[in-house]
């Protein structure tokens, strides 16, 4: 069966997007993993499907590169919003749901195949702390650790070990190493669960890193710029002082359509 797809990227996080409003694509784990393979497939950090939703603009479902279903992906959701815009779905603000709940995304800037997208994230109401680490859920679970020299960190080796530390994190976790560079400015590198490698960016990770930086180091800062290997992201939020409650979380960054094509599932 032939299926049309589009390839998008947001700050270097790349995704396969499929318009599944007619229900013709069946997201099998082994097929998704094959499509995301960078040597034998299209190549991507994940795959998303767009489906109809009678109550809001559309529904997003996200799948990791290993074929497992993920709850949420911040950079992916921004690409998803631009994908919906390119297909004439919704208005300047898109309303869609993902596995972690309802989201909004505003098209702040649009130029041809590219745009700047502001995404609404779920609220954070609990932050776990340990010996030099913090843990929270920004749509998916995230571990955050501060480091003095980001380039010296073995992101893949240490990230893989922490990601698989089921004694502390029974469901596994994404792993973020963060270096503070100024008031409201940080650098970050991420090992992503489901990709099982370092990625060029992680939107939910940038959100987690900004919130933990505010919580642990900069309590009066609510607007952050996060530099990642693939570019830059911005995160802002509201915070109830003296609590672990962070609301009105907005993740802003670029999204771009790279190319479109058709694949035959029998070829995978």
What residues are labeled active site?
73, 202
The secondary structure of the chain in percent helix, strand, coil, rounded to multiples of 5, reads: 20, 45, 35
Separation CA 95–CA 7 (nearest Å): 22
Strand partners, 198: 191
> Quick one: CA dihedral 231, 29, 101, 214, positive or negative?
negative
Angle between helices 74-86 and 203-216 (to 10 degrees): 130
Separation CA 254–CA 262 (nearest Å): 25
Which residue, among 5, 8, 7, has the nearest Cα to 25 in the 3D structure? 5
Separation CA 236–CA 24 (nearest Å): 38
């Amino acid at each position: 069966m032939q299926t049309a797809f589009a390839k998008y990227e947001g700050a270097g996080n790349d995704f396969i997007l499929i318009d599944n409003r007619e229900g013709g694509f069946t997201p099998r784990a082994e097929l998704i993993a094959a499509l995301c393979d960078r040597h034998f497939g299209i190549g991507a950090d994940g795959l998303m499907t767009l489906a109809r939703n009678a109550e809001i603009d559309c529904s997003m479902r996200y799948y990791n590169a290993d074929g497992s279903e993920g709850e949420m992906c911040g950079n992916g959701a921004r690409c998803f919003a631009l994908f919906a815009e390119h297909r004439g779905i919704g208005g300047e603000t898109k309303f869609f749901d993902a596995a972690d709940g309802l989201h909004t995304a505003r098209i702040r800037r649009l130029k041809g195949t590219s745009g700047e997208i502001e995404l609404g994230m779920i609220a954070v109401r609990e932050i776990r702390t340990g010996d030099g680490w913090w843990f929270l859920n920004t749509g998916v679970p995230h571990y955050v650790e501060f480091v003095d020299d980001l380039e010296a960190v073995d992101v893949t080796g240490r990230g893989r070990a922490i990601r698989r530390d089921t004694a502390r994190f029974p469901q596994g976790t994404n792993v973020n190493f963060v270096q503070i560079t100024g008031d409201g400015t940080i650098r970050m590198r991420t090992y992503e669960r489901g990709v099982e490698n370092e990625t060029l960016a992680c939107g939910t990770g940038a959100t987690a890193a900004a919130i933990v930086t505010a919580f642990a180091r900069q309590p009066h800062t609510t607007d952050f710029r996060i530099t990642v290997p693939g570019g830059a992201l911005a995160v802002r939020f509201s915070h109830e002082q003296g609590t672990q409650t962070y609301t009105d979380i907005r993740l802003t960054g670029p999204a771009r359509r790279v190319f479109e094509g058709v694949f035959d599932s029998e070829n995978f």
